[in-house]
Structure 1
Amino acid sequence: MVTSSDLDRSAILRESAAAVRHLARICFKTGPPTHTGVELEWTVHDAADPVRPVDATRLRAALGRHSPAMLDATSPAEPLRHGGMVTLEPGGQLEISTPPRPSVAALIRATEADIAQVTDLLAAAGLVLGSSGIDPHRRPRPVVETPRYRAMRGAFDRHGPAGRTMMYSTAGLQICLDAGEPDQVADRWAAAHAVGPPLLAAFASATRHAGRRTGWASARMAAWLAIDPARTRPVWSPSRAEDDPIDAWISYVLAAPLLCLRRHGADWAAPPGVTFADWLDGALPRPPTTDDLDYHVSTLFPPVRPRGYLELRYLDAQPDRDWRLPLVVLTALFADPGTVREAYTIATPVAHRWSAAARHGLADPGLAATAAALLDLAMSIMPRLELPASTHDEIRRGLRQRLTAAERRHQ
């Protein structure tokens, strides 16, 4: 049976107005901001020799029935016990994507259980999860090959080596927040961007790559920033703070060049420089469909990406259980409209300093001072999150350590 959604996804977009209407309908799903989600990535290493490459066969054997289809076409790709889904990035980085939860306490419990399950599966195969935002031991190399990944590599290679570093060596922590009620979206959108540079600095964990120091606090973000500004630069900026979020996102999407074109066979390379707006104007032999537009959106990687909810993509992977720290900070800062506005006011003076945050982290006095103020604000709000006492105390200690480091840098 063909459903209405099938028809919508296959609908031909014959003019830009139809693409605009579709993007405007899906980019922000408004409603009470009650849910939070998290996506965690890690590099994966041999437990005895972290420099040793880990191939797809070994990962497939370790993950078993939880292997994603890109790794094993016959796998049932079963969710983990608490609902997390396992996927792999092209360099073999492992990702757990959680279902959103109505409380951060519930999200932490479920995510910790899923991480423990994956850790056990890997341990049985002599593998361990990494602890930083970029592979400190190995040079970039492909582990999972698909037509999409080959097309990505070819497109990124035109801009230099950063694309391969990003694809094969980086690991991030993504926090997913509701967009909010219609009258809250603009403030939450702006604040999600504004707090990015100081929180990137506070939680930077990617200083070593392939056996050497990189000179960056977050070499992961450095790689992202160097790939292709048309698909990785922030959508929002302080200089255009009054822009409507929906209009800004639509302009970003339509102006971005195509990364790949799905077709039969292994060659998905897109003509260089052709944007989605060009495609709508007839630059390619066939017109695009709604499904093509949705797929194009999936190839855009700004620090904050609207997916109905807000996907905050700027944090490095964290060691051990420290992923909970930025999760709690962001949940606290976005607890209500008042905290959102206060966080925005604190962060705005450094909201444009993405490159400085990646390069210097808390060694930058302005970023350190702003990070300290944000962490202090978050800790004042933490009791409202109703975390279990032991979790609250442990996270507070971790944040105090980060706050102390930021304050020392500022002195």
Structure 2
Amino acid sequence: MPQGSPAPPTSQPPGASPALSETAAEDLVHGICFKTGPPRTLGAELEWLVLDAERPGDVLPPDRLTAAHDAARALRLQSRLSTEPGGQLELSSAPAPSLSGCVDGLQADLTAVRTALRSQGLVLHGTGRDPRRHMRRLLSNPRYDAMETHFDRTGPAGRAMMCSSASVQVCVDAGYQEPGPLGYGRRWRLAHLLGAVFVAAFANSPAHEGPYAGWRCARQGIWSDLDARRALAPPLDAEPRAGWTRHALDTEVMCVRSHDGGPWAVPRGLTFRDWLRADGAGSTDGPPALRPPTAEDLEYHLTTLFPPVRPRGHLEFRMIDAQPGDDGWLVPVAVVHALFDDPQAAESAYRAAKALADAHGSRPAPRNPLWQSAARHGLADPELRKAAAACFRAATEALPRLGASRHVQDVVGAFVERFTLRGRCPADDGYLQLTGTGARP
């Protein structure tokens, strides 16, 4: 498992790689999407908003955000630190052989970053969507310029995703090649079955106005409103490798990197499969003809796909909002680890989530009605509440078996008591701040 989400491949000089055939492209995606073997490692990526400690409602000027980023980069960290387009900070753990290994490194790094920012009057804030509805892009580079152009064609959701959202992403190994509770096919399906439960249980992006008014997880609404295919899950009735390969190649190309330092082309309506078949010709908003794609172009294309669960050799969970408090992020990391790496908990979670998903059809996430209910209502949805209670109970029972520290067990237990068992999610506390009453709009 790579450390967090690896940086996108860099541009290659002209002629560095041969043109890619359609068959070779299918083989490449097929070979890299699921790296099977015993589940051994765990990783997490934590995104945070950076706010003024005294005036958290103020939008920070670019120079102050940049100074905060520079202070964090000057630290000697175990995790990889990166900056999101709107100025959010992200810490990506190294792959760890245990939950404690993953958690301890991130906790130490977070303490160091918080201390550095506190000296500048700044704090890290965990929420899935910036309540200031901040839409200004701090970073300018060819990737983000092209991404903005692409997403602007379908509305404001792309800019909101880039500049105003934050998440906790958890990464687990794909699993065994062989069938079974820890087999990669079962884990792939379980990840999508549990996705709506995670959206609801960890919803922490409440909105009281705008297009997602009343939603517990407005961040999920933003992802649903991106272009028609890029944020969708592939059909789950297909064999996982074959299904993901088809999905990846049949999704539009977001950008074609320039090798001469010029702006990147942003094709319109051109899937990667179309590009493979184009033989250097095609209609784009950039050059009138595209060079043939290479293996590096395909690997880059895969970094521009944002489904709820992304296969990167390992499985990357992308549907969980950033969590409140200093230790809130521990809960999704520990719960995902328990439900996927403990066979008994995995079986309990599969039974609970499958019964729930079977009642809501097979439309791909996040546009499945169950996912939409999770984003709108959180655990106020009685079916989701029942499934979440069963899954989180299985997770809390598994954590001691997995060697979780007493601190992690206590943090997870407190979350379950405060939220899950009461049919609540962190967004319900957020409404207290947004409306002054906590009442559901």
SS of the aligned residue for 1:32 comes to: coil
Superposition deviation, residue 137 in structure 1: 2.2
155-164 or 300-309, larger mean C-alpha shift: 155-164
Amino acid at match of 2:52: D
Question: Which residue of structure 2 lines up, in the alignment, with residue 34 of structure 1?
Answer: 40
Superposition deviation, residue 363 in structure 1: 1.6
The answer to whether the aligner puts 1:277 opposite 2:273 as a matched pair is: yes
TM-score of the aligned structures, taking structure 1 as reference length = 0.88
Question: Which residue of structure 2 lines up, in the alignment, with residue 304 of structure 1?
Answer: 309
SS of the aligned residue for 2:310 comes to: strand
* Counterpart Cα distance in 1 of 2:212 and 2:269: 34
Superposition deviation, residue 269 in structure 1: 3.6
348-357 or 276-285, larger mean C-alpha shift: 348-357
Q: 1:26 to 1:79 in 2, by over 3 A?
A: farther
Amino acid at match of 1:361: G
More helix by share: 1
Contact 1:91 1:141 in 2 (8 A): yes
Question: Which residue of structure 1 lines up, in the alignment, with residue 435 of structure 2?
Answer: none
* Counterpart Cα distance in 1 of 2:212 and 2:226: 20
Superposition deviation, residue 59 in structure 1: 3.0
Show CA shifts across 1:349-369 (max 9, x none).
444422221111112111111
Superposition deviation, residue 162 in structure 1: 1.1
Q: How does 1:10-409 map to 2 (within 5 A)?
A: 10-64=16-70, 66-67=72-73, 80-81=76-77, 83-183=78-178, 184-208=183-207, 214-237=213-236, 240=237, 243-263=238-258, 264-265=260-261, 267-282=263-278, 283=282, 284-320=289-325, 321-351=327-357, 352=368, 353-406=370-423
Contact 2:253 2:301 in 1 (8 A): yes
Amino acid at match of 2:404: L
Q: 1:114 to 1:236 in 2, by over 3 A?
A: farther
SS of the aligned residue for 2:127 comes to: coil
Show CA shifts across 1:54-106 (max 9, x none).
24432332233654xxxxxxxxxx6743x111111111111100101111012
TM-score of the aligned structures, taking structure 2 as reference length = 0.83
SS of the aligned residue for 1:331 comes to: helix
Amino acid at match of 2:222: A
* Counterpart Cα distance in 2 of 1:138 and 1:62: 20
Q: 1:146 to 1:210 in 2, by over 3 A?
A: farther
Q: 1:179 to 1:39 in 2, by over 3 A?
A: same
Q: 1:209 to 1:255 in 2, by over 3 A?
A: farther
Contact 1:203 1:318 in 2 (8 A): yes
Superposition deviation, residue 213 in structure 1: 7.8
Contact 2:170 2:317 in 1 (8 A): yes
Q: 1:285 to 1:132 in 2, by over 3 A?
A: closer
Amino acid at match of 1:363: A
* Counterpart Cα distance in 2 of 1:229 and 1:235: 12
Contact 1:198 1:371 in 2 (8 A): yes
Segments of structure 1 that go 5 or more residues without pairing to the other structure are 1-5, 68-77
* Counterpart Cα distance in 2 of 1:12 and 1:341: 45
385-394 or 135-144, larger mean C-alpha shift: 385-394
Q: 1:236 to 1:79 in 2, by over 3 A?
A: farther
Q: 1:115 to 1:396 in 2, by over 3 A?
A: same
Show CA shifts across 1:15-45 (max 9, x none).
2100011111211111110110000001111
* Counterpart Cα distance in 1 of 2:99 and 2:293: 40
Segments of structure 2 that go 5 or more residues without pairing to the other structure are 1-11, 283-288, 358-367, 429-441
Contact 1:333 1:343 in 2 (8 A): yes
Superposition deviation, residue 156 in structure 1: 0.8
Show CA shifts across 1:319-363 (max 9, x none).
121111111111111124443233122112444422221111112
Q: CA RMSD in A?
A: 2.4
Q: 1:407 to 1:394 in 2, by over 3 A?
A: closer
Contact 1:84 1:99 in 2 (8 A): yes
Q: 1:255 to 1:132 in 2, by over 3 A?
A: same
